[in-house]
Amino acid sequence: MTPPPPPLRIGNASGFYGDRFDAVREMLTGGPLDVLTGDYLAELTMLILGRDRAKDPARGYATTFLRQLEDTLGLAMERGVRLVTNAGGLNPAALADAIRALAERLGIDCRVAHVEGDDLLGARDWGPGVVTANAYLGGAGITACLRGGADVVVTGRVTDAALVTGPAAAHFGWAADDWDALAGAVVAGHILECGTQATGGNYSFFTEHDLRRPGFPLAEIHPDGSSVITKHPHTGGAVTVGTVTAQLLYETAGARYPGPDVTARLDSARLIPDGPDRVRVHGVRGEAPPRTLKTGLTRLGGHRNEVVFVLTGLDIEAKAALVRDQMEGAMSKRRPAEVRWTLSRTDHSDAAVQEEASALLRLVVRDRDAAAVGRAISGAAVELALASYPGFHVTAPPGKGSPYGVFEAVDTPADTVPHTAVLPDGSRLTIPPAPTTPAAEGPADEPSLTPSLRPSLPPPLTPSLPPPLSPGPTRRAPLGAIAGARSGDKGGSANIGVWARSEDAWRWLAHTLTVDRLRELLPETAPLKITRHPLPRLRALNFVVEGLLGEGVAAQARFDPQAKAVGEWLRSRHLDIPEVLL
């Protein structure tokens, strides 16, 4: 009997532009790998790179990756590890050239390829102020580069999961319509994409593990698309069903997770322990992708300024009212287009530490005109230093304001995007869109009619919930006593994934945490549209809160502009929880 082929070991060494610099070396030396990926792009990063490119057309890529290769490129080539990264940003060709120059300078034999075509800035008139316009490409271009002999593949804007689907398809020879295998790789890629979030970083139950320096994750991908999520031995953090569930829920929405390669059915994924620091992900089913590609637009939205007044001791509300009236009067001649006041009652009565006796009054102003949020605001705040409430001071000297960005996602027909693989020999290969079917674009509650339909395909997206927990005595306690959560941003919307740690807790959570209950617990969400997506196989609920983040992270519309801590806020809220669960 022929033994099964060994799995493809794909690691991650970066979850964002600014992640741990030494991670590339740590992953290359920590244990065996076949492919090492790095994710450097996010919505805010694209705006930053766009402004860099505006200053110098030769820029627009993540320079950190090039610096990381200074002492690791040779190591990767010696160990036969292929490198795949989206660090090319807005200029993947320039980064590829810079890597070739580095390899030549270091005397390293290295074949470099890149993927382009995602940059659609000049493809049409996107409207005023647009800095970047990039389609989210799939992994097929990466696949072509690797099949063409590349040791290093640089891309621009691809989906985060494409960094895994591309190498996996190249290694196993998957066809473009091997939906289940591709979907399994998409799920593995989504788990890896944020680096140490899969190994315990930002984890609700962080006190149960040593998370002082969590190791970066890797996935052992099998020919059928199933995987085992793990990490190198003797590295910090932990890989558990909980840490993997948390990351799987991060920045997702419903049970169907559409992408350019495949639509992955998150409601089909199963997670089971596979030994210490090992979680097996299997059963993922896939369907055809949409006919369109998500295209991210970033534009300059205007200018923003902020002043944070510190209010200490007694009469906090009266102090806030006084300085607010004074600032409103100063702004009356030329009021900015948007003025937002927020009072954070961080003060405690009879506090032994001055900072604990203080509250924060935050003023945020926005306007298209820089002058309207500059000296007019900062000067007015400074002039109150000796003329306002007792104990007047601010957290930082008021500045002149700064530009802020806006993110918008639009759909672009996939067959209009020039997805191109530029192979190591310089030849250019046009990558056709993935095959699609109308069914993948139908209503979310309709069953798939894709060619891969089988009797064992998961049912339509009307998940059955478990029976409610039997009534019994309850105790007032925080939701986090029995449930974990992770939240994040998708443009101006936020997602909040909540999962139970036991089957009984899931039975209670599924019937208790409704949309109406979420609005009660998180009053900020009350006026917004909220959609709840149950994921029974993960014992999880995923909520999408539309508009919570305004125009996206770059606009900094709220205190937590990426909704990173909304889930922890929810876990801190108290409900009547059955005592049997506590």
What mean pLDDT comes out for the span 244-253? 95
130 CA to centre of own chain: 22
pLDDT-derived band of residue 439, with 50, 70 and 90 as boundaries? very low
Least confident span in 167-181, 293-307, 348-362, 437-451: 437-451
Residue 307 to residue 352: CA distance in whole angstroms: 26
DSSP codes of every residue in 426-459: S-EEEPPPPP--GGGGS-TTSPP-STT--TTSPP
Look over the chain and give the mean of its residue pLDDT values, rounded to a whole number.
Answer: 93
pLDDT-derived band of residue 2, with 50, 70 and 90 as boundaries? confident
What mean pLDDT comes out for the span 220-248? 98
Q: What angle do CA 428, 50, 22 make, to 5 degrees?
A: 80
Closest by alpha carbon to 76, among 43, 46, 109? 109
| H/E segment holding residue 281 | strand 279-282
Contact 508/469 with Cβ under 8 angstroms?
A: yes
pLDDT-derived band of residue 559, with 50, 70 and 90 as boundaries? confident
Contact 538/248 with Cβ under 8 angstroms?
A: yes
pLDDT-derived band of residue 440, with 50, 70 and 90 as boundaries? very low
How far, CA to CA in Å, does 272 sit from each of 170, 241, 540? 27, 7, 15
pTM of the model: 0.92
pLDDT tens-digit readout, 280-328 = 999 999 999 999 999 999 998 899 999 999 999 999 999 999 999 999 9
pLDDT of residue 463: 72
Residue 305 to residue 320: CA distance in whole angstroms: 19
Residue 517 to residue 573: CA distance in whole angstroms: 11
pLDDT of residue 442: 34
pLDDT tens-digit readout, 446-504 = 333 333 333 344 455 667 899 999 999 999 999 999 999 999 998 889 999 999 999 99
SS (H, E, C) 137-153: ECCHHHHHHHHCCCCEE
pLDDT tens-digit readout, 54-86 = 899 999 999 999 999 999 999 999 999 999 999
Could you give the domains of the chain?
8-290+418-436 (no CATH), 298-400 (3.30.70), 474-581 (no CATH)
Contact 479/575 with Cβ under 8 angstroms?
A: yes
pLDDT of residue 459: 54
**190 by DSSP, 3-state: which?**
helix
pLDDT tens-digit readout, 79-135 = 999 999 999 999 999 999 999 999 999 999 999 999 999 999 999 999 888 999 999
